[in-house]
A and B are shown apart, each in its own frame.
Chain A
């Protein structure tokens, strides 16, 4: 079912790797790259007489990571199952509006607003999952189609920001514990939950199995359809959380808050940067958070250096392709070594 299983697919045939080399997994590489980036960035920013990792810098990196991190956690799950979700960006806009409009400035409506946004998000995820599994549409087209439907709804009903978030709810977006924003900690908690789900529970293992080889998984008794649908529901709920968080930051809902930031392709980029295989079956949330932190740190460094914003895109593109090329090389090397052994 995976459409993305092309040249990079040799990874499917996992070879037994010698233990010593396997220490340098993509996750380790990602965090080494992050540390290197922080050091290099600190030096570059330091040469301008400023400090990268001061209070404001850390806050900046973590705030940037929160929204993208939440989307990317969900995206990790669908990509691991060999699918992908292009509808998250419009869903983020929709949920931010639903939350803010339901709240309408009243403290009492915070919980209903959040619940409604999450319920709609889950429903969209269910539709994504069912279109893919029951109608057997390719994930790329299915979620692109759902994205277009959501876009049509947004364009037809909204012209700009709407709704009003009560002050009490804005604490979610702006409160801090020491230098750490509460929302970033919540994002990390969601990441921890996702990590636990993927690596310590049976349904989580099933996601890897389906992404590795859906036929083998099915023949081994994995309920593949249910797994794919679950992954899409969880991904959409994560996008819903992002929408709610952004509503809390902005004070209202905005139809294009997700698409302006390009969260659909950006989240896929973060996941792949974090070492998860686009074809599915390999990777995880830990790497994704590393990928998100790298992208956020790059942005912060460029801001501090007052680099042209368009240059950022160029660097992003190059970093993304280079990282994936490195992972592919390592995988080929491992495979060849496995064959020789």
Chain B
């Protein structure tokens, strides 16, 4: 048997879009003549890509996570107040922020699976609670400051042999992406997709649907915490850092051809969707499109992407099955 690269269902379109955008960038911006320009793009896109990977785990198992934006803000605000410029607290606070993300994901997952509340509502409630509680704790505005050590992950770079200076965030992103791709090839990963596709079948074949969904939420919370550490380092402390990120992450996942409602799509495509979104913003910026119109373009693109996925998919299938039927109708000449 010859091995050939196999793309998961629905991955091809987003890769084509991404390639077109990257070519567009190369033509439009002189900064994109050399690798460093693309590395900078990847660095900027890393938090959103990590959020999209986390969101993917929830969406593919049939849910939504609207709380990630609020979780990112909470992570940054908590870290700033606890560190308060104190370098020695960095490690413990990073662990605490990760633990906090894990806990939020766990609560989301437990309420969704045990109390049977739709995840849309659970995570909407969590969004309100996190937004309120974070600012209740800091009296309305972020206080304190992040340490230089904390900010290294978002804006620093590591000297890697051969490659040269590679931003920390790109390294972290690569590690997460590889781990996520391997995880989705494992038995648990496949069961996660199956739980979103056909819950009853997974249950009947002995799969623990509730535990799988819970895992999805926990991973989403954990990755949102990672994204908050990167964003805090990259952009600094602000109360708006996570605003709207939940919708942006969902958009990215959908752009990657992942079906809302679960059961279809690949995690690499979801990350590619996030990168495409960021590349699109960069390109619009380079072309001099006003920032105000950015969201309008984003809106049109996601509608087109979803329409393509549901209409185009059907069309392709029709084209594909027709010749096959003709083949089976005629006995093969021998």
**Residue A151 is within 8 A (CB to CB) of chain B in the complex:** yes
Q: Give B137 Cβ to nearest chain A Cβ, in Å.
A: 9
B132 contacts A141, CB within 8 Å?
no
B residues within 8 A CB of A149? 295-296, 299-300
Provide the residues of chain B in CB contact with A321, threshold 8 Å: 111, 115, 117, 121-122, 125-126
Please name 30 pairs of A and B residues whose Cβ atoms are closer than 8 Å in the assembled complex, sorted by A. A7-B113, A7-B116, A8-B118, A136-B310, A136-B311, A140-B64, A140-B260, A141-B260, A142-B303, A144-B247, A144-B299, A145-B303, A146-B303, A151-B295, A152-B292, A152-B295, A152-B296, A153-B296, A156-B290, A279-B118, A313-B132, A314-B128, A316-B132, A317-B132, A318-B129, A320-B125, A321-B115, A321-B122, A321-B126, A328-B117
Number of B interface residues, CB 8 Å? 52
Contact flags A270-307 to B (C-beta < 8 A → 1, else 0):
00100000110000000000000000000000000000
Q: Determine if B251 is an interface residue (Cβ-Cβ < 8 Å).
A: yes
Complex Cα gap A316–B300 (Å): 33
Asked whether any CB of chain A lies closer than 8 Å to the CB of B11, the reply is no
Complex A-B, nearest 9 residue pairs according to Cβ-Cβ distance, in ascending order: A152-B296, A313-B132, A148-B299, A317-B128, A155-B292, A317-B129, A135-B307, A321-B125, A145-B303
Q: How far is the CB of B56 from chain A (nearest CB, A)?
A: 15
Q: Which of A137, A147, A156, A317 is B127 in contact with, Cβ under 8 Å? A: A317
Instruction: Tell me the A residues contacting B by CB distance below 8 Å.
Output: 3-8, 10, 131, 135-138, 140-142, 144-153, 155-156, 265, 268-269, 272, 278-279, 308, 310-318, 320-321, 324-325, 328-329, 332
Q: Do A141 and B302 form a contact, CB below 8 Å, given A278-B120, A310-B133?
A: yes
Interface residue SS majority, chain B: helix
Known contacts A279-B118, A321-B111, A321-B117: A314-B133 contact under CB 8 Å: yes
Distance A329 CA – B117 CA, assembled complex (angstroms) = 9
Q: Which residues on the B side are within 8 Å of A278 (C-beta)?
A: 118, 120-121
Report whether over half of chain A's contact residues are helix, strand or loop; otherwise say mixed: helix
Contact between chains at A145 and B126 (CB < 8 Å): no
Q: Could you give, for residues 275-295 of chain B, a 1 whenever the CB lies within 8 Å of some chain A CB and a 0 otherwise?
A: 000000000000000111111
Q: Which residues of chain A have C-beta atoms less than 8 A from B128's C-beta?
A: 313-314, 316-317, 320
CB distance from B169 to the nearest CB of A (A): 26
A265-B124 contact, Cβ under 8 Å, with A146-B299, A310-B136: yes
Q: Are A148 and B295 in contact (CB under 8 A)?
A: yes
Interface residues of B in 205-226 (CB under 8 A from A): 213
Task: Report how many A-B pairs have Cβ atoms within 8 Å.
Answer: 164
Residue B306 lies at the interface, judged by CB distance under 8 Å to chain A? yes
Please give the residue numbers on chain B whose beta carbons come within 8 Å of chain A beta carbons, in ascending order: 62-64, 66, 111-113, 115-122, 124-129, 131-136, 140, 213, 247, 250-251, 254, 260-261, 290-300, 302-303, 306-307, 310-311
Whether the Cβ atoms of B295 and A324 lie closer than 8 Å is no
Residue of A nearest to B290 (CB): A156
State how many angstroms separate the Cβ of A275 from the closest Cβ of chain B.
12
Contact between A8 and B300, CB atoms less than 8 A apart: no
Chain A contacts of B124 at CB under 8 A? 265, 268-269, 317, 320
A311-B136 contact given A141-B302, A320-B121, A329-B115, CB 8 Å threshold = yes
Residue of A at shortest CB range from B196? A6
Q: Which residues of A contact B300 (CB under 8 A)?
A: 145, 149
Closest A residue to B113 using CB positions? A7
Question: A152–B299 contact, CB under 8 A?
Answer: yes
Q: Which B residues touch A6, using CB under 8 A?
A: 62-63, 118-119, 261
Q: Which residue of chain B has its CB nearest to the CB of A136?
A: B310
Given A151-B296, A153-B296, the answer on whether A137 and B310 have CB atoms closer than 8 Å is yes
**Max chain A CB contacts within 10 Å: which of B113, B132, B247?**
B132
State in angstroms the CA–CA spacing of A156 and B293 once bound together: 6
Residue of B nearest to A328 (CB): B116
CA A117 to CA B128, docked complex, whole Å: 31
Distance in angstroms between the alpha carbons of A172 and B128 in the assembled complex? 32
Q: Across the interface, name the chain A residue whose C-beta is closest to B262.
A: A6
Q: Which of A136, A310, A315, A318 contacts B307 (CB 8 A)?
A: A136
Query: What's the Cα separation between A279 and B64 when bound, in Å?
Result: 13
Decide: A308 near B121, CB < 8 A? Known: A135-B311, A317-B126: no
Given contacts A141-B306, A314-B136, 13 further A-B contacts (CB under 8 A): A7-B116, A136-B307, A140-B250, A144-B251, A148-B299, A149-B299, A152-B299, A278-B118, A310-B136, A313-B132, A318-B125, A321-B122, A329-B115
**Cα-based distance from A275 to B288 in the complex (angstroms):** 48
Contact status A156-B116, CB under 8 Å = no
- Chain B residue contacts of A310, Cβ below 8 A: 131-136, 140
Residues of B within 8 A of A324 (CB): 117-118, 121
Q: Shortest distance in angstroms between A332's beta carbon and chain B's nearest beta carbon?
A: 7
In this complex, what residue of B is CB-closest to A307?
B136
Q: How far is the CA of A321 from the CA of B123 in the complex (A)?
A: 9
Query: Would you give the shortest CB distance from A261 to chain B, in whole angstroms?
Result: 13
Residues on A with C-beta less than 8 A from B122 are: 321
B132 & A312 in contact (Cβ 8 Å cutoff): yes
List the A side residues contacting B302 at CB < 8 Å.
141, 144-145, 148
Give the CA-CA distance A156 to B113 in the complex, in Å: 43
CB-defined contacts of B127 to chain A, threshold 8 Å: 265, 317
